Amino acid sequence: MNIRTLLSQYVSHAMQAAGIPAECPPIIAPSKKAGFGDYQANGAMGAAKAMKAKPRDIAQQIVEQLGSNDDFNQMVSNIDIAGPGFINITLAPEWLSNEISAINQDTNLGIHTDTTETIVVDYSSPNLAKEMHVGHLRSTIIGDAIVRTLEFQGHQVIRQNHVGDWGTQFGMLIAELEEQLQEGESASLALKDLESFYQSSKKHFDESESFADKARDYVVKLQSGDESVLALWQQFREVSLTHSQEIYDALNVTLTPNDIYGESAYNQDLAPLVEELKQQGLATEDQGAQVVFLEEMADKDGNPSPVIIQKQGGGFLYATTDLASLRYRSNTLNADRILYFIDARQSLHMQQVFTVARKAKFVKENVSLEHHAFGTMMGNDGKPFKTRTGGTVKLADLLVEATERAQKLVADKNPELSPSECAEIARKVGIGAVKYADLSKTRTNDYVFNWETMLSFEGNTAPYLQYAYTRIKSIFRKAAEQTSIDVHTLSSSISLQETAELALAIKTLQFSEVIEQTSREAYPHLLCTYLYDLAGIFMRFYEQCPILKEGVSSDTQKSRLQLSLAVANTLHTGLSLLGIETMEKM
């Protein structure tokens, strides 16, 4: 059930019945101010313009038509016209009560999608040559939040972790690994610190001519399938993937080894793909390289935009691999939508690859190709986020620090918790805070990373939402103790009277609208804003509408408990879609 969709349908029908052209949209939106009803229909003004009539007259006709719709009348308790032609709609308390009861009976909170799609999502995609750092955080957690949301809606989601496990740098890394193995190291020990391993191999490469020659030789052997080199590569890859998986597990990200489909997977496709582009006349030789020139992306002077798909000397580039992956995802995985969560700096590249893929018919015509870009993670100084010494911040270190900081705060706020409870809560709070701080900002902007605001745990933060949830759970425990009420089995009728109750019910029922918009636009911050609003409205309800205190009638208790249950389920589900865990106490 989606209030906005329902009202759009009703008002749309009414408009057509009033003789308004079908092109005129009803424009339904939640009202921003108290006194303007719960929802407003703003379509009368536009319709009046198209029909050269007076807006208020049009609004009046729409309202009259709505009056003959029984379903609408059941849903709405009041409707009036204001200002130049706004139609303000107040929802009926009885209808809201029934809907709250309905979502309490539904494990999916009333969210059911009629047309499900196959959606391929490319996210995280770290380079295996190095350890995961903060630069990978945004793609990983934003992508994961959208994946979870799409799956919740019932779509078939195929995760694609397009890891960087191929290319020239691996010759160097394999040569280094071979040397260290000969010195008696085990692979996992040599690669314990990937970052310093990379540094030492780079140093080796720069300083030793013979080592550099060997590294270059290994690149060739690797690509031609030499068994011993391939075996070394395999070892390196395994250890690095284990590192990544540890991060995913710590971050509560749903990626698993099954989702790995890296650059190396397309190795055999690259030469034929270039050949095909040549045969189609799209790729031409230019300065020894194979280049596709895109007239549709030409600059002002008409110079076409060049995309190099094969280097002088025969090597392939990431544009080639990305084209191969697009073809695979469209034709083999049968995607309806293909989503990429990649840094905004690659916007031009993505646009080029999409354009080439369409021209070459590597993807089906109706597949939706979407680059969902995001900005850079900045430090307090407004420059890209680095350690004090200027190095990249490892994700592993970041997560440890978040948990430690949370541990201190949790122990301080609630000394009565046992050490194990405290540790578990600190983990969920710390990791949740890091993720939420990122997810709650519009992803297209750069994002300023700040421990203080993130872990202050006040305002629009994960702990605020988690706290709201624990408050509700605490009431439920108390209800069971004091009155033997099991909230989950209540089925008595809900009665909404207080302003705080009505506001809370409406906000709770708007969950499906937000889910729909979040997955369509791939903006997790919409869900965050919603959950923060919901938690805030609950906090006000909590202050104003006592449940288990003296003098509250049994009927009111049961009614408010059921409303609280709907809120708790919504908070829990919403946070879990963001990949943030909840707890019973904090």
**Which 326-355 residues touch RNA, going by CB under 7 A?**
344-349
Which tokens hold the place of 153?
Answer: 């809606």
Quick one: which H or E segment has residue 44?
helix 43-51
Of 126, 393, 148, nearest in space to 243 by CA:
126
CB atoms within 10 A of CB 459: 10
Mention every residue, 6+ apart, whose C-beta is less than 8 A from residue 25: 12, 43, 46
Binding status of residue 423 toward RNA by CB under 7 A: no
**Shortest Cβ 438–RNA spacing (Å):** 10
Percent composition of the chain: helix, strand, coil (DSSP 3-state, to 5): 60, 10, 30
Residue numbers 160-189 binding RNA by CB under 7 A: 164, 167-169
Residues in 127-146 that interact with RNA by CB under 7 A: 127
Among 11, 14, 18, 46, which residue interacts with RNA (rule: CB under 7 A)?
46
* One of 526, 527, 563, 565 touching RNA (CB under 7 A): 526
Angle at 560 (CA atoms; ends 421, 514), nearest 5 degrees: 75
Choosing from 429, 494, 496, 515, the residue that interacts with RNA (CB under 7 A) is: 429
Q: Does 518 engage in binding with RNA (CB under 7 A)?
A: no
| Choices 96-104, 106-114, 217-225, 300-308; region in contact with RNA by CB under 7 A | 300-308
The answer to whether 136 and 398 have CB atoms below 8 angstroms apart is no
The token pair at 414 is: 């609630």
Determine if 271 is a binding residue for RNA (CB under 7 A). no
Are 322 and 292 within 8 A, CB to CB? no
Q: Find the binding residues for RNA in span 77-106 (CB under 7 A).
A: 82-84, 86, 88
* 490-509 residues near RNA, rule: CB under 7 A: none
Count the site residues for RNA by CB under 7 A.
101
Which is closer to RNA, CB of 156 or CB of 536? 536
HSE of 21 in the Cβ direction (CA atoms, 13 Å)? 10
> Rule CB under 7 A: is residue 420 a binding residue for RNA?
no
Stretch that binds RNA, among 112-120, 147-155, 436-444, 574-582 (CB under 7 A): 436-444
Q: Measured from the CB atom, is 181 or 294 closer to RNA?
A: 294
Task: List the interface residues with RNA, window 183-222 (CB under 7 A).
Answer: none
Query: Residue 293 CB, nearest distance to RNA (Å)?
Result: 8
Pairing of strands 283-286, 156-160: unpaired
Contact with RNA (CB under 7 A) among 69, 90, 529, 576: 529
Within 13 Å of residue 586, how many CA atoms lie on the same side as its CB? 28
* Cβ distance to RNA smaller for residue 321 or 330: 321
- Contact between 76 and RNA per CB under 7 A: no
Whichever of 118 and 456 has its CB closer to RNA, that residue is 456
Identify which of residues 398 and 454 has a Cβ nearer to RNA in the complex. 454
CA-to-CA dists, residue 469 to 231, 255, 472, 508, 538, angstroms: 50, 26, 5, 14, 10
Interface mask toward RNA for 468-487; x: CB under 7 A: --xx-xxx--x---------
Is 54 a binding residue for RNA by CB under 7 A? The answer is no
Nearer CB in complex with RNA: 255/291: 291
Least separation in angstroms between residue 476's CB and RNA is 9
* C-beta of 564 vs 569, nearer to RNA: 564
DSSP per residue over 115-144, as a string?
Answer: S--EEEEE----BTTS--BGGGHHHHHHHH
Q: Which is nearer to RNA, 187 or 319 (CB)?
A: 319
Q: From the CB of 185, what's the least distance to RNA, in Å?
A: 27
Minimum separation from the CB atom of position 555 to RNA (A): 15
| Strand segments (E) across 336-422 | 337-340, 368-371, 377-378
Name which of 325 and 573 has its Cβ closer to RNA: 325
Among 459, 486, 493, 497, binds RNA (CB under 7 A): 459
If one asks whether residue 446 binds RNA (CB under 7 A), the answer comes out as: yes
Report DSSP state, residue 311.
-
* Interstrand relation of 118-122 and 86-91 (parallel, antiparallel or unpaired): unpaired
d(CA 161, CA 513): 29
User: What DSSP string runs through 141-164?
Assistant: HHHHHHHHHHHHTT-EEEEEB--B
